[in-house]
Every structure is written in structure tokens, then in C-alpha cells.
Structure 1
Amino acid sequence: MPQHVYVGLVRGINVGTANQVGMNDFRGVFETLGYTEVKTLLRSGNVVFSAAHPLTAADVAAIEKRFTQVAEFSAHFVILSGADFLEITDENPLLAVATDPSRLVVAYLPATSDARAALTSTSLTIPDPDSVSPDVLAVGPRAVYVWCPNGISKSTVPPSFWRQLGPAYTARNVNTAAKLAALVRARL
């Protein structure tokens, strides 16, 4: 039976002293649900894993539920097929602009139509480019890309923009995305 490769991303774990989750426990969330070839990356909520069947919204809900049981706090997961993750990462329109991949960020959204509909909605308020300068913001059909030349912690993109994306999006810098992409490519 063919295996389906997925990337799982969760926001807000192991930041400072809050919401600490050991990587063995994090990996165990997926293994106890029957997923295989589970590989975590760094301590910031990144995992690549294989499934025997295409995942559904119910599968993602089960991952979130199991995570809450293990970690004793809840978190939203962005689960993307390996192919979807690679396409979103590779179609980054700011790759030619950025000079430091650690300051170029991709904000991934869940694959659900509701989450991605926010990106193409006429009600999405995108900041004026001059108001976020020197940052550069690009909104794609499946992700948001931000070049933060002064560093991510000094980003000028307002929090009100991010709130429009809902609670489940999560961002990774291009260095981390490239490492995850290499793990995915090794399995496809």
C-alpha cells in the first residue's frame, strides 16, 4: 500500500518557558495514532510523517486531541500533504528579494477551504506596502510570505493583519522550510 507523506506544523510550542513539549512526546503523538516514519525537526513544532491513507479533517482533529492529552494544552495544527508543502514553499515570490533566509517567512494555513478562502477574500485587508516598509508582504493563494530585513521580531506587519488568517496558521523561516522540504523530498 502506498504511503502518503505529510508535514505537520504547530504554532507556539517550546517558545521561552511556556508550552514545553519534549520531542519524544511530540513524535509519540503521531506514532500512537498509527503514523509511520515520524521525524521531528528542531523543537518548534515541525514533523514529517507517513500515513497509509489520505488524511481527513477528522484525522487532523484526532492529532490535535492526542496532542492536548500528551502536552496538557491545546494547539492548532497545520497538516499539509508533502506535495502541497513543497509547492507552497517553492512558489515563494520573495525568494529573489530576500538576502537572508532566516528573515524570510512563510505563513502556512491549513489545507481546508475555509482557511485558504481568507487569503483570496475581498474582505482581507492587506496593509499598504509603504506602511510595512522595509518589510515586504506577499499574499499567495495558499500562504503568506514576508521578508523582514530587520528581523522577524521587528516585523512591521501589524498584528491585525495576522488575526484575519484565523487561529491555525503558523509561520516558518525559509531555512526551516528548506529542511522540512528536504525530509519530504527524500520520501517522495
Structure 2
Amino acid sequence: MNTYIILLRGVNVGGKNLVPMKQLKKDLNENGFSNVKTYIQSGNILVSSVNNPESEIGDLIESNFGFKPEVLALSNNEFDLAVSRNPFKGLEGKFVHFYFCKQPPKLNLTKIQSLSSATENHKLINSVFYLHAPDGIGRSKLVSNIEACLGASATGRNLNTVNKIKEMAKNL
């Protein structure tokens, strides 16, 4: 059995694409997954599975909740590697963001430079776009256009969430 970190994109945001994590956890357990854990309502799930569960979880959510979110499944090793490569170590977790991409990004550097604030710093390492936004992301023009800048669909998590998921994965 392998541990997988499942990141759902765009669930439980603004009252749309509702997936109650308690119910999803029950559904996953009933469908053969073990060691199922969830963290907050934004679609962070840990499971043990023999095979990568990405498509199976997407199908399960579609069957039980009526829509199919984008699902990104990372092995525990892939997730740990993304965490270890964080170029903004030591900075406050709520200001450091990881944007996990399913496909390799094709950065539009001109667009990124035109939308980045003077305080924002970023780095792409493989399929993770790391962003330090010390003024927050609420009004960030870069964040509101992140997928256009990356040329790929992405799901973001701040460093606090990433660290919590990493800690939970240790205990599976």
C-alpha cells in the first residue's frame, strides 16, 4: 500500500461544488481505500491505496456529488519532494503558496512580470509554482490570473496547509 495525497481543485469554494469531507471520507472507506484522512474543507485528502487513485476518486465524487472536480494525486514521495524544494523556507507559512500543476507548466514570463507586485517572488520547480506573497494573495493580480500565467491548470495550497498534510502523512 502506498500513501497518496489527493488535492481537489475548486471544491467547497463560494458555495459551489460542495463535497462534505466527512461524507467523502465515509465514501472512500466504503470503496476500498484505507487510512483515509481529510484536512479542512478545501479538498485535502490522504489515502492508502495499491494504485494511484486519481481517476477513481474523481469518478466517485461525480457519482456521489454530481460533478467531477479536477483531482491531483501525489505519492507521499512526490509531495515530500515538493516540500523539500520550497525556495521560500523560513518565511511565514500563510504567505508562501504552492501551486501544484497536473501538466508541466509553460510559463508566460511576460504576463507574470506584468502582474506580479513589487513584493511577490516566485519560482517554478518541475510542476510546482512556488509563490511568496508577503502582502497576501487576496488582491494579487498574479494569483487571480495564475493559470493563464502557468499555461496549465493548478491547485494552490499555502505552506501552513502543506506542512499539516506532510505531518498527517507521517502518521499513516
When normalised by structure 1's length, the TM-score is 0.81
Which whole-Å CA distance do the structure 2 matches of 1:13 and 1:6 have between them? 19
- The amino acid of 1:54's aligned partner reads N
Matches within 5 A, 1:114-153: 115-116=103-104, 118=105, 121=106, 124-126=107-109, 127-128=112-113, 131-153=116-138
Name 1:34's counterpart in structure 2. Answer: 32
Q: Which runs of 4+ in 1 moved over 6 A?
A: none
Name the SS of the counterpart of 1:150 in structure 2: coil
Give the Cα separation in 1 of the matches to 2:118 and 2:26: 42
Which residue is 1:77 aligned to? 71
- Alignment-derived partner of residue 18 in structure 1: 16
Q: Secondary structure at the match of 1:153?
A: coil
Q: Which residue in 2 is equivalent to 1:54?
A: 51
Task: Using the TM superposition, give the Cα deviation of residue 165 of structure 1 relative to its aligned residue in structure 2, in angstroms.
Answer: 3.9
Could you tell me how far 1:86 is from its partner in structure 2?
Answer: 1.0
Counterpart AA for 1:18: K
What RMSD, in angstroms, separates the aligned Cα atoms of the two structures? Answer: 2.0
Are the structure 2 counterparts of residues 29 and 165 from structure 1 closer, same or farther at C-alpha, using a change threshold of 3 Å? Answer: farther
Task: Return the TM-score normalized by structure 2.
Answer: 0.87
Q: Distance in 2 between matches of 1:130 and 1:28?
A: 42
Kept in 1, the 8 Å contact 2:115–2:141? The answer is no
Q: Mark the runs of 5 or more structure 2 residues left unpaired by the alignment.
A: none
3-state SS of paired residue (2:82): helix
Separation (CA, whole Å) in 2 of partners of 1:158 and 1:64 = 25
**CA separation in 1, counterparts of 2:155 and 2:78?**
15
In 1, the alpha carbon distance for the partners of 2:3 and 2:46 equals 7
Partner Cα separation in structure 2 for residue 74 and residue 130 of structure 1:
31
8 Å contact kept, 2:34–2:48? yes
The secondary structure found in structure 1 opposite 2:138 is helix
Q: Which runs of 5+ in 1 are unaligned?
A: none
Correspondence for 1:104: 96
Distance 1:105 1:184 in 2: 19
Q: What's the secondary structure of 1:92's corresponding residue?
A: coil
> Which residue of the other structure, out of 165, 168, 171, is the alignment partner of 1:183?
168
Query: Deviations for 1:68-95, whole angstroms, at most 9, x for unmatched residues?
Result: 1112122101100011101101210122
Q: 1:131 Cα deviation (Å)?
A: 4.3
**Separation in 2, partners of 1:125, 1:42:** 32
Identity of aligned residues (%): 22
Say which structure is richer in strand: 2
CA contact under 8 A between 1:129 and 1:136: conserved in structure 2? no
Aligned-partner residue type, residue 176 of structure 1: T
Q: Structure 2 CA distance, aligned partners of 1:33 and 1:182?
A: 25
State the match for 2:159 in structure 1. 174
